[in-house]
Each structure stands twice: as structure tokens, then as C-alpha cells.
């Protein structure tokens, strides 16, 4: 893997498949943000740690163990991890279903017929030919801009590069809110089809405290028909509740469209939350939400058929040489529940 460390800003000229006028982002005025970010690179463990001063926020993990690079954990300013530990750092009493749900990631369930979303060590060797892998290629660090820039390759099982992904993560902090502003541009290295599929796109697997209480075991089937059982666990300390920009609460958020969704809860006697924002320039805006009570918190603009019960279908395509850009904001908060007014203060 090629690693580039630079002290100056990385400039990427990216074009999107859309030309939607840009919206005012003054609600998150950069002049009011704490952007004093420090990076630490651990080459032995293939990890870049992101700090605000001496306080760890997250790690970028470019190991190949999870079939994609991931961001893990997501730590509040008070030091609480709002992401599931498993399979990186398993915690007592947490679920161990869906081993492909690792921290915070971006991939998709049908790229030229290959499933990138569900790929994990749980897939038998004889079925690996149906799954794709995202390989890290390089990264650049720019502390002056609080920016981590990565280059990855989405590969078919035979090694063919289907997509080259260029992503910028910009980190900031304001009061008790920590932010990751992500801009990901997917460059087609071959003709690429992103066939409508519920398995995608930007995902976070949250901590046990942020799950919704469950009173019965559930069986979930992925787009390939493979079932995963989500067992009933002790609900003590399980306090999660979704809230969408449309005012929808709880598990009813699944399959609805919204500009943003917040997931509130109480962890170790403190109010905590993760809020994910869709960007007006993104295809399919406002996105559908693949947000489950058991802890999967995902935005999926590309898989519309299942969420709309067949009323809509989006089969995106990119010709070789074309590209498509996606932008998302993740806000990690502590100390106070995120309500409609607070969430709207930080929207695009």
C-alpha cells in the first residue's frame, strides 16, 4: 500500500453526475468550529488516529481484515464509544450478528452483480466469487485543513478494478458535537452498474446502548437470501430512539426519506447521539434510511425499490471514465438529546 504524508492541502478536482445548485452551509460556520486536529499514524497496525488535542475521536483502519477500510470507533467528547466494538474490540453483552457491520463505512450490495456490502469472513470460500472487496491504496494527511484523504479500489473477485474511490474526511468540533464531513467520488474504471439494492450505502453499526429495545428474536435476510438471526438480549441500558427530519420516531424511520436522522440514547448515564446528514447534491436526495432497531444505522440513496414497496426503482450506471460524488456529515454528540431544532442547526 502506498502511503503519502504531506503538510500541504490535497486538491482533488472532482466532478459529480449531478449539477444541483449548492445549498447554504452557513449553519456550520467554519469560523466557529474547533478544527485543531492532530493525526497519529501507526504503520504497524495500519491505523491513523484522529485527535482533538489529546482527546481521541476515531481511527481510520486500512487493514484488509474487514474487506473495506473503516472508521472505528466514534468517540464523544466525553470519551464514550457510540459504535459497536465487535469484531474489532468486542464488548460485554453486545450483539455479534452481521459481522460485515464494522464501525463506519461506505459500500454497496450490487456493483456489477458483486456484493460489497455483505462481504466478511462468514462467507464460505465456495461463495466468495460473488463478493467484492475495497482495497486501500494510499492516504494523505493535512492537519492544517483537518483533512484525511484516502484512495481505494473497489475490486471484483478476479482483481478487476471497477471503481477508484477518492474520499476526503474533514474533522471538526463545536461545543459537545464532533463532525466528520465526508466527500466521496467514485470513478468508474470499467462500465459500472449500481443496481437497485437495499444493502447500502453509508453505514454505522452503533453501540448496544443506542439500539432500540427488542422483545423477540428477529431473522433478517440480505439481498442474496442469506438469513441472519438477531437474538433477544437483556434490554438493560438499551435506550436508542431514531428521530428523522420529518419528525418520525423509532423504528418507523426505516424505509422513509429524510434530510437527516438522529439516533438518541443514554450511555453510562449520559445523553449521547449520532446524527447523519444527507447532502442536497447527492443522487436520490433526500435519501432513504436503512435504519434498524438492532443497531444498523445506514443511509441508502441507491436502493429505492424495497423502501418504496416497489413504487420506485433506481438503477444508477457509470460509463468508464465517469464519476459520481456523495457527501455526508456525521455528528457525534454528548450531554444533550438531539431534537429537531438542534439537528437543523448543523444541516447542509
DSSP 144: G
User: Residue 312 falls within a domain, yes or no?
Assistant: yes
Q: Structure pTM?
A: 0.89
Q: Is the dihedral of CA 300, 303, 308, 309 positive or negative?
A: negative
Terminus-to-terminus CA distance in the chain, angstroms?
A: 34
Whether residue 253 contacts residue 262, with contact meaning beta carbons closer than 8 Å, is answered with no
The predicted structure's pLDDT at residue 50: 98
CB-side neighbour CA atoms (13 Å) of 21? 2
Q: Containing domain of residue 292, as a range?
A: 36-344
* Cα gap 100→281, rounded to integer Å: 28
Q: Which of 300, 252, 337 is nearest to 110 (CA)?
A: 300
Q: Which of 167, 188, 166, 182 is nearest to 111 (CA)?
A: 188
User: Residue 20 falls within a domain, yes or no?
Assistant: no
The predicted structure's pLDDT at residue 241: 98
* CATH classification at residue 189: 2.70.98
* Cα gap 50→70, rounded to integer Å: 13
DSSP 346: T
User: Residue 337 falls within a domain, yes or no?
Assistant: yes
User: Residue 141 falls within a domain, yes or no?
Assistant: yes
User: Residue 94 falls within a domain, yes or no?
Assistant: yes
At residue 170, what are phi and psi to the nearest 5 degrees? -115, 125
Digits of tens for pLDDT over the chain (348 positions)? 444 444 333 333 333 343 333 444 434 554 466 668 999 999 999 999 999 999 999 999 999 999 999 999 999 999 999 999 999 998 888 888 999 999 999 999 999 999 999 999 999 999 999 999 999 999 999 999 999 999 999 999 999 999 999 999 999 999 999 999 999 999 999 999 999 999 999 999 999 999 999 877 766 556 676 767 777 677 889 999 999 999 999 999 999 999 999 999 999 999 999 999 999 999 999 999 999 999 999 999 999 999 999 999 999 999 999 999 999 999 999 999 999 999 999 999
The predicted structure's pLDDT at residue 228: 76
Where in the chain does DSSP place strands (E)?
A: 37-42, 47-52, 55-61, 70-71, 104-108, 133-142, 147-155, 161-174, 177-188, 192-194, 200-205, 218-221, 227-230, 241-244, 260-267, 270-278, 288-291, 296-300, 316-318, 323-334
User: Residue 30 falls within a domain, yes or no?
Assistant: no
At residue 252, what are phi and psi to the nearest 5 degrees? -65, -10
The predicted structure's pLDDT at residue 94: 87
* Cα gap 244→340, rounded to integer Å: 8
Number of structural domains in the chain: 1
User: Residue 3 falls within a domain, yes or no?
Assistant: no
DSSP helix/strand/coil, 309: coil
Whether residue 245 contacts residue 253, with contact meaning beta carbons closer than 8 Å, is answered with no
The predicted structure's pLDDT at residue 11: 34
The predicted structure's pLDDT at residue 215: 76
The predicted structure's pLDDT at residue 93: 82
User: Residue 5 falls within a domain, yes or no?
Assistant: no
Amino acid at each position: 500500500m502506498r502511503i503519502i504524508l504531506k503538510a500541504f492541502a490535497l486538491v482533488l478536482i472532482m466532478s459529480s453526475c449531478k449539477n444541483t445548485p449548492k445549498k447554504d452551509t452557513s449553519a456550520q460556520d467554519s469560523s466557529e468550529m474547533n478544527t485543531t486536529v492532530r493525526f497519529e499514524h501507526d504503520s504497524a497496525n495500519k491505523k491513523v488516529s484522529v485527535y482533538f488535542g489529546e482527546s481521541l475521536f476515531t481511527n481510520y483502519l486500512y487493514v484488509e481484515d474487514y474487506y473495506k477500510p473503516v472508521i472505528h470507533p466514534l468517540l464523544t467528547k466525553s470519551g464514550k464509544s457510540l459504535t459497536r466494538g465487535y469484531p474489532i474490540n468486542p464488548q460485554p453483552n453486545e450483539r455479534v450478528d452481521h459481522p460485515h457491520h464494522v464501525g463506519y463505512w461506505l459500500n454497496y450490495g450490487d456493483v456489477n452483480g458483486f456484493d460489497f456490502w455483505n462481504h466478511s469472513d462468514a462467507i464460505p470460500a465456495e461463495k466468495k466469487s460473488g463478493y467484492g472487496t475495497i482495497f486501500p491504496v494510499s492516504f494523505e494527511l493535512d492537519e492544517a485543513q483537518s483533512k484525511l484523504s484516502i484512495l481505494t479500489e473497489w475490486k471484483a473477485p478476479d482483481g478487476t478494478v471497477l471503481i477508484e474511490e477518492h474520499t476526503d474526511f474533514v474533522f471538526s468540533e463545536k461545543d459537545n458535537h464532533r463532525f466528520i464531513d465526508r466527500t466521496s467520488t467514485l470513478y468508474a474504471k470499467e462500465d459500472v452498474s449500481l443496481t437497485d439494492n437495499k444493502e447500502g450505502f453509508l453505514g454505522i453499526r452503533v453501540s448496544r446502548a443506542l439500539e432500540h429495545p427488542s422483545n423477540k428474536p428477529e431473522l433478517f435476510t440480505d439481498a442474496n437470501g442469506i438469513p441472519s438471526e438477531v437474538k433477544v438480549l437483556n434490554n438493560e441500558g438499551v435506550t436508542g430512539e431514531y428521530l428523522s427530519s420529518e419528525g418520525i420516531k423509532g423504528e418507523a424511520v426505516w424505509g422513509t426519506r429524510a434530510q437527516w436522522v438522529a439516533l438518541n440514547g443514554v450511555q453510562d448515564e449520559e445523553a449521547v447521539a449520532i446524527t447523519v446528514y444527507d447532502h442536497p447534491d447527492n443522487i436520490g436526495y433526500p435519501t432513504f434510511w436503512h435504519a434498524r432497531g438492532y443497531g444498523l444505522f445506514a443511509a441508502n440513496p441507491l436502493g429505492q425499490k424495497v423502501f418504496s414497496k416497489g413504487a420506485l426503482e433506481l438503477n444508477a450506471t457509470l460509463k468508464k471514465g465517469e464519476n459520481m460524488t456523495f457527501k455526508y456529515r456525521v455528528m457525534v454528540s454528548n450531554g444533550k438529546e438531539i431534537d429537531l431544532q438542534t439537528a437543523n442547526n448543523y444541516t447542509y
